[in-house]
Structure 1
Amino acid sequence: MTRQNPSIFNDIIGPIMVGPSSSHTCGPARIGYLSSQLLDGNLKKAVVEFAREGAYTNMYKGQKSDLGFISGLLGRRPEDPKLRRSNIDAREMDVDIEFRISDFEAIVPNISRITMTSEEGEEVLVRADSTGGGTVKLLSIDDLSVSIVGDAHELLVFTENASKDDLINLCDEIKKLVGHVEEISFSTLDNRGLINGKTKNKPTDDSVDKIKTLKNVTRIKQINPVLTVLSNRHEPVPFKSAAEMLEIGKRENKELWELAIMYESARSGWSKEEIMNYMKEIIDIMEDGIEEALKGDINMDGIIQPTGGKIAKKAENKKQWLDTGILDLVTPWSIATMEYSSAMGVVLCAPTGGSAGVIPGVILGTAKKLGVSEEDKIKAMLATAVIGICMSKDHNYSAELYGCQVEPGAASAMAAGGLMHYLGGTTEQALNAASIAIQNILGTICDPVAGLVQVPCISRNAMSAANAVVSANIVMGGFDGCIPLDESAETMFRVGAQLPSELRCTCNGGLCITPTGQKLAKEQDERDALRDVGAIEALA
């Protein structure tokens, strides 16, 4: 399958999700949602298995992966607030969903295996990967290989006793009947085959009925997309690297936010107005979450209590407080967003759940302090996002693969560049600030204590927010990071791949294995067990 160019709203500022984790809450919800469509009848039972050596094992309860899978398997999208009580809903609907740690190879960190059974007895087996930042990939269906990421209408044509030539001919026939196939491929196992066609629009019932009559075809399944921006594989984007973007900006005299519009218009097919309106919706969600969290009455269900509101008040009265200027607002806003996410509020992956606080804290907190217009907030967010596009041209933002440097660390680089919109800086200065921010966080590990997105995740968001402000300011003062952003970003992902797995979101290293970290994890296990008991008692 051709790797899709990243989209601002799929991969950088998005998706919208219920917290706390993009890889381990939103990703499972998306996997469940896509997989649920493979059953013809209603779901009766599902067994979700995690590889013993994979990343889910020590944190699937703390990061609410179980609730994410259940919600998706019930047919709900990842932003649906009902995710919080999906275990209760499943029991009320008499749907049995079981979670197991099993001995199969962790070919990727976030591998899962889902066996679904319908009320009529139909059984489907799916293997899937949560690839980072809320992105996912279905890897196989009934052991037949696929590559389904949720960005297209998926037409799945199952065959028996078809030769390779037969399958090639079937692909040609399907393309003729459907008429708008973006990509088509097939896989085989023994005498079984699976053809996977990807389309922008759902195939008509008439075309599907005709495909059913073709030789060797046994059944057809369809999956609707889950991503905000759909596939656009054959449309070129104006740039991929920061260097290319800088060259176009200079040649066409465009500001960073205008380059973001240029890119996303090509990638999504959306108009400028649609892009700016959707970014406004995103800003509203971010600000609503901050406002709610600052009240301090949210339930984080973990090892710490909400403090964003207390920190904000302390920064206001200045008693026993070191004045840090704009950070006095940016810091509590970053913390509040993360706390709201930890309380399973609706937030934005930016670019992940583990970094959800940096960009709203820096870009929207600064906007509040400076009193800028709504339009300028939108433009600053677009400028922030397009830097993230250039950084991720070859990689996904995933702590399981590259550590926390690609989550709050990468977000701080994007935010550092985005601040240049408020400061009147150039695109070149924005890229310099982003590069410096990356240099400052290289090698940051991911070690979520007790498997929660709380310690040290929340304070690392605050630290990363400060990194963004410092990086932007020193560039405006003339500091030169020397290393271009493209090279710094490549280094960040390279360094991340060199980190041992213990330091990449597995709970097997760093702060997680300290005596206190182990004690907190045990206490959290007890709370999670009580949550399961509470769900059962709620039905009694």
Structure 2
Amino acid sequence: MGNAFPEPVSIFNDVIGPVMTGPSSSHTAGPARIGRAVHGLAGGVSRAVIHFKKDGAYPGTYRGQGTDKGFIGGLLGFGPEHELLGASLQEAGRRGLEFAFEIEDNPHPHPNTARIVVTDARGSEREFLTESTGGGMFRIFAMDGFPVSVSGEYWELFIQSPRSEVLEGVAETALVLGCRVERRDGSSGSLLQITGQAPFAPDLLHVAETLRKNEGCRISRLDPLLPVPGRFRYDMPFFTAGEALKSCKGAAVSAAELAFAYEKARSGDSHAAILSRMTDVVRVMRQAAAMGMEKELPVTGFLKPKAAQMARAVSEVRLADLGIMNRGMVIATAIMEYNSSGGIVVAAPTAGSCGILPAVVLSLAESLALSPDTLAEAEAEAMLVAGLVGVFIAHQATFAAEVCACQAEVGAASAMAAAAAVQLLGGTAEQAFAAAGLALQNLLGLICDPVAGLVEIPCVNRNTMGAANAVASANMVMAGFDPVIPLDEVIGTMLRVGKMLPGEFRCTNLGGLCTTPTAIGIRESLDLR
């Protein structure tokens, strides 16, 4: 079918993932990927100055949400999951990377815009204009004064020359080999961007190297950074919930079947490969929950971890009977606290909402008394259904709190978890999407106001709330409730509401709970450390 969207997203690239070091997908993982891309394109970096957009989200949160560690770790070549990412500022000193952060006026509209100026491996100054677009995704949209488009999905080769005519031969070679080729001309010469959907042929790389040696061309290369590489042509079965249901043609198709059909078309992978990849993701989620409940976590901000104490209280203290949600409450808290401490978590769809989906899926699946093999498959299928709902959101809106506030993070995750719960309960695709829409309805307008710019309060407790909302929404739909407004329309409403919200309520640390006297006192005490 025709694609009305610029690029079909992948469940594993854009929704369930990345596997990352906490605490923030857009402010830690995204910058790490940006830094790693710059590291690759520059062939190594000895000095870097990262300039943040003055009226954007970075200035108020870059220390508390690990943006500084993300950028510097990436510039050292670390990915978002690297064990040294949390210590990257110290590691930079040991490895001789000089760095600084500055704030400047920047007309680019995205709040997560950063201009990065580096000294590359050859001693030349390079400039990159970048944005972290949410959920660990990113875009480099200018390099050395030339417009480019780099998202980490493809193999990229850039050839820069003061004379455009020397690029004609290599451009023809690249086209013959099936690559995409774009040339940009500027006052300093021309830049050729060659994009491949597979590793570049040795012949092409030989031509590029010859141009470097004989013509003095600057060569930059980058391999894919995302789990699922991009392709030039897709035959996608659908892009929205409405299209997915229409593709069923009245047949009783489960949401999991639709999720497999979508990801097969997007990645080209088999049913078994997709299931195996998601099983691995669930394993990381379960490990994060265990670490949060069993390990004595450090106090990295102002909030003392409480998940281990809460886990004991479930059996020792008189609590209201919430069924699986007493267990889910602990899982959500444990994963969020582990995320805040810099542990390895799965952004689902973001790090700020990473506790919701595992809280619902793990606690509900455990209650079904399934065999270990059946349990693993059921959890993976439920996560794929959640990922499919995330695909619908990504195609029509965003996961970025800087754009749409917390409704795009906790709201999106709660919608995804509601659909996953319906899958585990044996519901239909129509019921799964209805539950997702209902869950998102309940959280429209939720603002993003992290105290002291940290992913602690109210992020931790909102994850528990998002999980409870997901289970309640799934139960309501399974019991016969009709949320009336279709999921796609609710997603569109979320985007419109987000754009109506003042910037102070969109992760800028300028409005909401983070401006209360208590929160201001916390921030001041942290600044004195």
**TM-score for the superposition, normalised by structure 1:** 0.92
> Could you say which residue in structure 2 is the equivalent of 1:28?
31
The 8 Å contact of residues 171 and 181 in structure 2, kept in 1 or not, is answered as no
- 1:52-71 equivalences under 5 Å are 52-71=54-73
Residues 251/170 of structure 1: CA separation in 2 closer, same or farther (3 Å cut): farther
Query: 1:186 aligned to 2:183?
Result: yes
Q: What SS does the corresponding residue of 1:140 show, helix, strand or coil?
A: strand
Residues 295/155 of structure 1: CA separation in 2 closer, same or farther (3 Å cut): same
Question: After the TM superposition, which of the residue ranges 341-350 and 301-310 deviates more from structure 2?
Answer: 301-310
Letter in 1 for 2:27: H
Q: Deviations over 1:388-419 (max 9, x none)?
A: 11222133310000110010111101111111
- 1:256-271 equivalences under 5 Å are 256-271=255-270
**Unaligned runs of at least 5 residues, structure 1:** 528-540
Question: After the TM superposition, which of the residue ranges 341-350 and 86-95 deviates more from structure 2?
Answer: 86-95
Query: How many corresponding residue pairs?
Result: 519
1:250 CA displacement: 4.5
Give distance in 2, aligned partners of 1:380 and 1:212: 48
> Could you say which residue in structure 1 is the equivalent of 2:411?
409
> Could you say which residue in structure 1 is the equivalent of 2:349?
351
Q: Deviations over 1:429-470 (max 9, x none)?
A: 111111111110000010111010011111111111010011
> Could you say which residue in structure 2 is the equivalent of 1:229?
228
Letter in 2 for 1:33: R
**Unaligned runs of at least 5 residues, structure 2:** none
Q: What SS does the corresponding residue of 2:78 show, helix, strand or coil?
A: coil
1:251 CA displacement: 4.5
Q: Deviations over 1:162-208 (max 9, x none)?
A: 38xx97x568514335x131x33232321422121211222133212
The 8 Å contact of residues 52 and 58 in structure 2, kept in 1 or not, is answered as yes
Query: 1:525 aligned to 2:527?
Result: yes
Question: After the TM superposition, which of the residue ranges 196-205 and 71-80 deviates more from structure 2?
Answer: 196-205
Query: 1:199 aligned to 2:208?
Result: no
Q: What SS does the corresponding residue of 2:335 show, helix, strand or coil?
A: helix
Query: 1:100 aligned to 2:131?
Result: no
Give distance in 2, aligned partners of 1:132 and 1:238: 25
The 8 Å contact of residues 19 and 345 in structure 1, kept in 2 or not, is answered as yes
1:237 CA displacement: 1.1
> Could you say which residue in structure 2 is the equivalent of 1:16?
19
- 1:487-502 equivalences under 5 Å are 487-502=489-504
- 1:384-403 equivalences under 5 Å are 384-403=386-405
> Could you say which residue in structure 1 is the equivalent of 2:42?
39
Q: What SS does the corresponding residue of 1:388 show, helix, strand or coil?
A: helix
- Aligned-pair identity in percent equals 39
Q: What SS does the corresponding residue of 2:60 show, helix, strand or coil?
A: coil
Residues 430/171 of structure 1: CA separation in 2 closer, same or farther (3 Å cut): farther
Q: What SS does the corresponding residue of 1:413 show, helix, strand or coil?
A: helix
- 1:60-459 equivalences under 5 Å are 60-118=62-120, 120-162=122-164, 172-176=171-175, 179-181=177-179, 183-211=180-208, 218-251=217-250, 253-319=252-318, 321-372=319-370, 373-459=375-461
Question: After the TM superposition, which of the residue ranges 235-244 and 370-379 deviates more from structure 2?
Answer: 370-379
> Could you say which residue in structure 2 is the equivalent of 1:484?
486
Query: 1:473 aligned to 2:470?
Result: no
> Could you say which residue in structure 2 is the equivalent of 1:532?
none
Letter in 2 for 1:235: Y
**TM-score for the superposition, normalised by structure 2:** 0.94
Letter in 2 for 1:275: I
Give distance in 2, aligned partners of 1:104 and 1:362: 41
Tell me how large the CA RMSD over aligned residues is: 1.9
